[in-house]
Amino acid sequence: MAYQVTLIPGDGIGPEIAEASRRVVEATGVPIAWEVVEAGEAVIPRYGTPLPDYVLESVRRNKVAWKGPLTTPVGKGFRSVNVTLRQELDLYANVRPARTLPGIKTRYENVDLIVVRENTEDLYAGIEHRVGRDAAESIKIITREASLRIVRHAFELARRQGRRKVTAVHKANIMKLTDGLFLECARQVAGEYPDIQFEDMIVDAMCMKLVQAPENYDVLVMPNLYGDIVSDLCAGLVGGLGVAPGANIGLEAAVFEPVHGSAPKHAGQNRVNPLAMLLSGVLMLQHLGETAAAQRITRAVEAVLREQKHLTYDLGGSASTLEMARAIIDRLD
C-alpha cells in the first residue's frame, strides 16, 4: 500500500525544488501516491484566496503534506498561508532542526539542535486592530493548554532522540503573566521527565549564548514569535535558510516544508539548491516510519556536499537544481 501524501508545490522556486526533491524521495523506493494541489498567489485569480478549501480538505484526508514555499506579502495583502494552514489544521508544534552539514561553510562546527516552536497562538494569532489613526494594537495570547502540549512535545522528542537537555525560552522577567504562564507550564512538564536536564533562558540572553556557544544547547522550546526568530538564528549557524527544513505537527495531520521563502526573482531558472525542501522530505519520511529511506537520503546529501562537484550557485557551484538532485540520487546506497 502506498502512502497518500498531499504535495503543494508552492510559489516562486517552489515547483522546481519540489520536483527535484520528489524525484529523490521516489528514488528510495518508498511507495507514495502524491495528490498534487495548488495554493498560493497563482490560484488567487481563480478562487479569490491563496488557500482554497480543497487544499485543507486534501491535507485532512491524507494526514501528511509536503509543501514548497508560499509567498506572504509584507505589510499588506492576504494573510500568511503558512500561518492559516497551521491554525486551521491545529499544527501546534513547529519543529526545526539545525545541524552542521559537511561542505557548508559556516562560522561554527558540531551544531546539532532543534527548535520546537508553539505554532497556534502568541502574537502570531493575528489579533490586532487600529487604535485611532496613529496607533495599532496586537494582542498576545498564551494559554495553559497550548503551553503544556508544546513543552511536552519537546520533551517527548528529546527522549525519543536520546537528547540530553531541553531549554525553555521566554521573556517572563517582563511579560510576567503571558510568558510567566508559559514558564510555569514548562517547569511543570519538566518534572515529568527526570531523565532529561531542564533549564530556562530569557530570549535575548538565549540569542547571545547561541552565537557564542551553540554546542551547549540541544532542544529549545518557546512561544510562537520567539520561535520564528530564534529558529532563523539557528539556521544561520549552519548555513542559512537554504539548508533549513521544518515540520508542523498536529494530532490529526503533519505538514513538512522548507523554511525559506519563495524567492520569486529566481523562479523558473532551475538554479536554487533543493536541500531545505529535500531535508523536510527526510523529516516526512521519518514521520511515516521510513527511517531507513530517510537515512539513505541524508547520507547521499552529505556525500554530494563533501564532493563539492554538483552544487548549485548558492552553495558555491554551477549545477542546476535538477543536476544536484540527480547527483544525490546517484549516491543513494
- Quote the radius of gyration of the chain (alpha carbons, Å): 20
* Catalytic residue check, 204: yes
Residues 6+ apart with CB under 8 A from 139: 123, 125, 127, 128
Residues 6+ apart with CB under 8 A from 264: 11, 12, 13, 71
d(CA 116, CA 228): 10
How many CB atoms are located within 10 Å of the residue 161 CB? Answer: 11
Pairing relation of β-strands 254-258 and 93-99? unpaired
In this structure, what C-alpha cell is assigned to residue 280? 523536510
* Catalytic residue check, 228: yes
One of 92, 124, 217, 226 is an active-site residue; which one? 124
d(CA 182, CA 190): 12
In this structure, what C-alpha cell is assigned to residue 191? 518534572
One of 11, 67, 122, 171 is an active-site residue; which one? 171
* Catalytic residue check, 171: yes
Q: Could you give the 3-state DSSP secondary structure of residue 111?
A: coil
Active-site annotation, residues = 124, 171, 204, 228
